[in-house]
Amino acid sequence: MPQSKKSTSGMGSIRKITREINGKTYTYYEARYTAGFDPGTGKQIQRSITGKTQKEVSQKLKAALAALDSGTYIAPCKMTVAEWLDVWASQYLGGVKESTVAAYNATIRTHIKPGLGAIRLDALDTHLVQSFYNGLREPTKDRAAVSPKTVKNVHGILHKALQQAVANGYIHFNPTNSCILPRVEKKELQPLDEAETKLFLDAVKGHPLELLYTITLFTGMREGEALGLTWDRVDFMRGTILISKQLQEEKKAGGQFRLVSLKNDKPRRIQPAPWVMQLLRDRKLQQYEHKEKAGAAWSNPLNLVFTNELGGNLIPQTVVRHFKEIVTAIGRPDARFHDLRHSYAVASLRSGDDIKTVQGNLGHATAAFTLDVYGHVTNQMQEASAIRMEAYIKGILEL
């Protein structure tokens, strides 16, 4: 039987407990205190604190009683980090896109739970989280070292989950607030230059996806936006395109393709060059010919601009695979489909479009973000402007 020695301290009590387990004697101290009353039963809520020494437990008890007196007391949370993340992901992401929720859950499953999942939520501190972040940058036998960008993504998810835990009163503070993240090195953009653009246009001539690639190159649409473009968003009278949806595959087994809102939920209307609008007219005629040939087999329920020969949506992986074959053939195997968007942006800036116009056409949230991404282009333009001005000034002086 355990033996105990009891003493009192204000609203709480500390006792020394001795237990015998498997022939060994263990001694520790326990404090019990009243943390309020259960609103349902009216009975007192009893809490306990344990420690190796009476001094340690006494200090913890005093802190708890002081918090009760000041109204800042938070009951100990018995949930582990993994348990809280399951609750948070299932109950607190109601306004988040399905694809984002799927990405969050994948990061939680792959990175956060293996590293922090077994730790009690109220035992997390900044040093534990910082050590976890640092450990992600080191390779293990089960995985390679993750990139700084991935660490940043992990931090973003964990921070949001723990911020909600603070709001719920499960923990006093968010331990991720003071963590230091690794620096994310920006990859240098590699858009197609004028010569490569000409080679690309020559290479796609006659390709089944020629119009998709060409129109994307000269509108700056994202892949999902181009594949999700519908005919009711193309206004031939005004020469505009309303970009308001993107094609996305559901992140589940047997998931279907469907039209969803944009990345930033902000539709934008662009006015491409008349030559691009003519390409869309050509595409409409091409699709009509496919429909006539397919007959009863034709089905385009989403009213998509870019479809296969039976009216079905194009598969992103297939679009990218053919693109890689084309850019490899012109000596740019490093080019990505997204680089068509970068190529459009750089061409727009170099042709004289102001940064605000480029921001609007690309659908960036702010002009500052556009400048951050394409600042090197504007710097080159400033240098060219300075050279032109130098020539102008010398011309004036020589008069």
Domain map of the chain by residue range? Answer: 3-70, 81-167, 194-371
Name the one residue in this structure whose structure tokens are 């660490």. 151
**In whole angstroms, what separates CA 311 from the centre of its chain?**
32
Q: What is the DSSP-derived secondary structure letter of residue 233?
A: G
pTM of the model: 0.69
* Segment-wise mean pLDDT, segments of 10 residues, the chain, 399 residues: 41 76 73 77 75 81 78 70 94 86 93 93 89 92 89 96 89 90 84 93 96 97 96 97 93 84 87 96 97 96 97 96 97 95 90 88 86 73 70 76
Q: What is the dihedral of CA 136, 251, 221, 202, to 10 degrees?
A: 90
| Domain 81-167 architecture | Orthogonal Bundle (1.10)
SS (H, E, C) 82-114: HHHHHHHHHHCCCCCCHHHHHHHHHHHHHHHHH
Helix (H, G, I), strand (E, B) or coil at 303: coil
Which residue from 252, 287, 296 is spatially nearest to 102, judged by alpha carbons? 252
Residue entry with tokens 């695979």? 321
Q: Which CATH number fits domain 3-70: 1.10.150, 3.10.450, 3.90.79, 1.10.3470?
A: 3.10.450
Neighbours of 317 (CB within 10 A): 9
pLDDT at 58: 86
Instruction: Give the sign of the dihedral formed by CA 382, CA 387, CA 390, CA 396.
Output: negative
Q: How far is residue 239's CA from residue 236's CA, in Å, rounded to a whole number?
A: 5
Q: b/e for 12-32, b at 16 or more Cβ within 10 A?
A: bebbbeeeeeeeeeeebbbbb
Q: Answer whether 11's CB lies under 8 Å from 23's CB.
A: no
Residue 51 is predicted with a pLDDT of: 73
Start-end of H helices in the chain: 54-70, 81-91, 98-107, 113-116, 126-136, 148-167, 194-204, 210-217, 223-227, 274-294, 316-329, 339-350, 355-362, 367-397
Cα dihedral across residues 124, 127, 132, 133: positive or negative:
positive
In what side-by-side order are the strands of the sheet with 268-270? 234-235, 240-243, 268-270
- pLDDT at res. 64: 76
Within 8 A by CB and 6+ apart from 169, the residues are 74, 75
- E strand or H helix that includes residue 30: strand 24-37
Q: Tell me the pairing of strands 240-243 and 234-235.
A: antiparallel
SS3 assignment, position 197:
helix
Contacts of 185 by beta carbon, 8 Å cutoff, 6+ apart: 148
Residue 73 has a pLDDT of 60
What pLDDT, on a 0 to 100 scale, did the predictor assign at position 23?
A: 67
Distance CA 12, CA 144 (A): 50
Q: What was the pLDDT predicted at 82?
A: 94
In three-state form (DSSP H/G/I as H, E/B as E, the rest C), the secondary structure along 139-191 is CCCCCCCCCHHHHHHHHHHHHHHHHHHHHCCCCCCCCCCCCCCCCCCCCCCCC
Report the run of H or E that residue 4 belongs to, with start and end: strand 3-9
The domains spanning 3-70 and 194-371 adopt the same CATH topology = no
Q: Residue 373 is encoded by which pair of tokens?
A: 């991404």
Residues 6+ apart with CB under 8 A from 151: 133, 136, 137, 181, 182
**pLDDT at 75 (0 to 100):** 62
Candidates 1.10.443.10, 3.40.50.11810, 3.40.50.970, 3.40.50.11540; correct CATH number of 194-371?
1.10.443.10
